[in-house]
Amino acid sequence: MDREPPEPPENPEKCVGIDVGILTYAHDTDGTAVGSLDLSDERDRLEREQRTLSRKEHGSNNYEKQRRRVAERHADLRRKRRDFLHKLSAYYAREYDLVVVEDLNVKGMMESPSNSRNTASAAWRTFLSLIEYKCEREGTHFVAVNPRGTTKECAACGVSTDKPLWVREHSCPACGFEADRDANAAWNILSRGLEDVGVGHSEGTPVETALPVDTSVSAKRVVEAGSPTLKERTASAVSE
């Protein structure tokens, strides 16, 4: 049975746009830049176990024992990645009235030889699906917008400028607006989402008023605290 989506929120201050990427896993319009989860140690252990397995006689007891160890390493990788994605998606669904993301063609991106490894390891499809599911559970309005041009367009004036991937700053030649590349994309994503649900800006676009200072947050912090901010921990300390 299909459920009706929640009503669009009336308060634009509780809205967020999220841009997902490779160098920074998620960059939102509140200035939070969450780093990618470092699973290099887990991958190294998996590779060592796989090399050990390759040296065992296939079908022997030792082979079966080592095969189970390899499976355990695979499961450990999946568990840690899902834990990170669950906590990050739950934070956005819980903290905001409207969450806007890009409607990415992840399957098509994974088929591209240029970035298939990066895109697959980033698990964007899982992250975006979890946000949508948890927004529905929390009664938060979820919008997925057309991703075309979100990186190229200036969030302040709308002029499009080509940028190769290695250029990490947005600098508009038309209006002079400068911002982190992913922050600029996040604002474009939010603007498109607000248009889709018919919520207008209160006083101009966000970038015409003030941009928040970007705060870099490690994925480890998200895993340990369940949130990329100090808000919840501070609130609980005050209540105590």
Tokens of 195: 């248009």
Question: Active site includes 162?
Answer: no
- Three-point CA angle 83, 85, 88, nearest 5°: 105
Reading phi first (left if > 0) and then psi (alpha if -120 to 50, else beta), residue 114 is in alpha
**Structural contact between residues 45 and 36, judged by C-beta atoms closer than 8 angstroms:** no
**Structural contact between residues 181 and 167, judged by C-beta atoms closer than 8 angstroms:** yes
Instruction: Single out the catalytic residue among 19, 42, 49, 180.
Output: 19
Instruction: Single out the catalytic residue among 28, 49, 97, 102.
Output: 102
**Structural contact between residues 92 and 193, judged by C-beta atoms closer than 8 angstroms:** no
Question: Active site includes 19?
Answer: yes
Of 212, 224, 214, 230, give the one whose Cα is nearest residue 24: 214
Interatomic CA distance for residues 154 and 174, integer angstroms: 9
Question: Active site includes 102?
Answer: yes
Interatomic CA distance for residues 113 and 132, integer angstroms: 28
203 to 185, 207, 209: CA distances (angstroms)? 20, 11, 8
Supply the residues annotated as catalytic.
19, 102, 182
